[in-house]
Amino acid sequence: MSGILGAIRSHNGIVIVSGVEEDGPDGTACIEINNNSVAVVFRGKTAVKDFLEKYIIPKKPNAVLDAVTLIDSELKLHFDEYKEHDFSFFVAGIENGRSGYFSFWSENGQLNTIEVKQTSHFINTIEDLAVYIITKVFSEQMTVEELKNLMIFVSLQCIKVFGYDSFFNITIINNEGIKKMSEGEIKDSLSIQDKKDHKLKKIFSDFFIKEDMSK
Amino acid sequence: MTLAFALRGSNGLVLGADSRVSGAFGSADTSTKFLQVNREIGILTYGLAEVGYKSINSIVDQVNGYSDFSATATPRIVHFSEIIKKTQEICKKTYGEVATELKKNNSAITDRDLTTGFILAGYDANETNQFKIHHFESPKFESDERPGDIIAAQWHISQFLSNHFYYQEMDVEQLKRLASFMLIETGVISTSVGGRLKIATVTLENGFQLLNEKEIQNIICENQPRFAKYRRILLDNLRF
């Protein structure tokens, strides 16, 4: 999968879909910062990875807000090293039982903004389709397990529509910490969602054939 | 961008496009992306408005020989295969002129930024007696014919909908409902898709027919329960 698919959060957890590590310099990645937060990179992976490994992870920030503050100050301090790279990433994590996102980006050699995003879902804007499906189904009351299923359904649709690679990572953050789904788990979940998709197609088979939808 | 598509049904074709034009200065819902070429054929465009508008007008003019008042110097083009060739020639020429000018003013512009495409669809009454859908896209504008549907430009959401709802066995009446549904659902998320919906049908009996506003409004009203039911089905099946 090239390009991040996105992240979605409910009141007690976050589910993140990202590319696989071997995706090349333009690929996306989900990098663990500590045991309750991650950095999700969707532009300039190599530069961000290098920055995090050099200046953030060794300092072992305690929690999400600590990590965000540290990233903020270290980025400003060492920005010259990464000036020639355009990068975008966001930090996602759980703190005091609440989930949150913090996003960072650099463009044209300038660290323009550090923005705190408190939106329910954070999706790379290229993926209109992902936003569309999520908007139809999502509610903040959904459990992390339900969110995971929804994101795998969305990923399945992106694979079918865009012809994306079927290898991607799913990272789940909840009160118990960070869990990365294994390749086998993802494969099994994709197969369950594919069955659901076939069921949907069957339900919709006469959707535009019936003239009166109330029957 | 825009949403442009042609759907093939059991008794004809349904063509659809929105009317939004977006640019550096904002957007307006006034563009003409859709023209009738002759009795049985229509053409749709998406991408660069200047290339699209100039090209489709020029195609209609040259196919029908409108500029030739005596109608003797340039004969009308009647064969579908010749119209395909003419479309390719005009699109390539117009695109070349506009793209060169734009690239001259801004060297950072790439072919991808200037993506422009056309969908030529209709009934080939002279050669094959079949409904045909051809797609042309910049920079080469090579003709690509597909057996089923063609959905272009801002196509992702509509492709998802088409994957779930579209069957070639559907007739033109049913496809009209699907076309309006696809345009409205895409406009909900994609800001570059919107404005008046333009839908046309091509059938053997009636040739190319552009639906008027009242007909489109009736289809939208008829679809209202479908929007609600569709969401209900997604919620029931995907939220666990």
| Among A127, A204, A213, beta carbon nearest to B165 | A204
Whole-number Å distance between alpha carbons of B14 and B149: 10
- Rg from Cα positions in chain B: 18
Whole-number Å distance between alpha carbons of B92 and B86: 10
The whole-angstrom distance between A53's CA and the closest CA on chain B is: 34
Place of tokens 């086998």: A184
B193, closest residue in chain A (CA to CA): A128
User: Quick check: B157 and A153 CB within 8 A?
Assistant: no
Place of tokens 């804007």: A125
Stretch 161-190 of chain A: residues touching chain B, C-beta under 8 Å:
161-162
- DSSP tag of B211: P
Among A194, A129, A119, A122, residue whose Cα is nearest residue A156: A194
- Specify the pLDDT at position B69: 64
In order of A158, B84, B120, the CA distances from B13 in angstroms are 27, 17, 11
Higher-confidence residue of A215 and A136: namely: A136
Q: The domain spanning residue B179 has which CATH number?
A: 3.60.20.10
Tens digit of pLDDT per residue, chain B (240 long)? 689 999 999 999 999 999 887 765 667 776 778 899 999 999 999 988 889 999 999 999 999 887 766 656 677 888 999 999 999 999 999 999 999 988 888 888 888 888 999 999 999 999 999 999 999 999 999 999 988 788 888 888 999 999 999 999 999 999 999 999 999 999 988 888 888 899 999 999 999 999 999 999 999 999 999 999 999 999 999 887
Q: Which residues have C-beta within 8 Å of that of residue A202, sequence separation ≥ 6?
A: none
User: Quick check: A128 and B190 CB within 8 A?
Assistant: yes
- Specify the pLDDT at position B111: 84
Among B131, B30, B137, residue whose Cα is nearest residue B91: B137
Name the band, by pLDDT with cuts 50, 70 and 90, for residue A175.
confident
ipTM attached to this prediction: 0.86
CB-CB contact of A119 with A92 (8 Å): no
| pLDDT average, residue stretch A53-64 | 90
B228, closest residue in chain A (CA to CA): A213
What is the pTM for the complete model shown? Answer: 0.87
Q: Which domain holds residue B153?
A: 3-238
Between A16-20, A76-80, A198-202, the lowest mean confidence (pLDDT) is in: A16-20
CA B180 to chain centre: 13
**Structure tokens of A100?**
């949150």
Buried b vs exposed e over A13-22: b needs ≥16 C-beta within 10 Å?
Answer: bbbbbbbbee
- Specify the pLDDT at position B103: 87
B182: buried, middle or exposed (CB in 10 Å: 19+, 13-18, 0-12)?
buried
Name the band, by pLDDT with cuts 50, 70 and 90, for residue A1.
very low
Q: Quick check: B18 contacting A, CB < 8 Å?
A: no
Residue B177: enclosing H or E segment and its boundaries? helix B172-189
Q: Quick check: B227 contacting A, CB < 8 Å?
A: no
In chain A, residues with a C-beta closer than 8 Å to the C-beta of B234 are: 133, 136-137, 200
| pLDDT average, residue stretch A24-51 | 82
Higher-confidence residue of A22 and A150: namely: A150
Domains of chain A, earliest start first: 6-199 (3.60.20.10)
- A118 C-beta neighbours (distance < 10 Å), count: 10
CB-CB contact of B97 with B106 (8 Å): no
Q: Quick check: A198 contacting B, CB < 8 Å?
A: no
Cis, peptide link before residue B139, omega less than 30° from 0? yes
Domain count, chain B: 1
The whole-angstrom distance between A192's CA and the closest CA on chain B is: 11
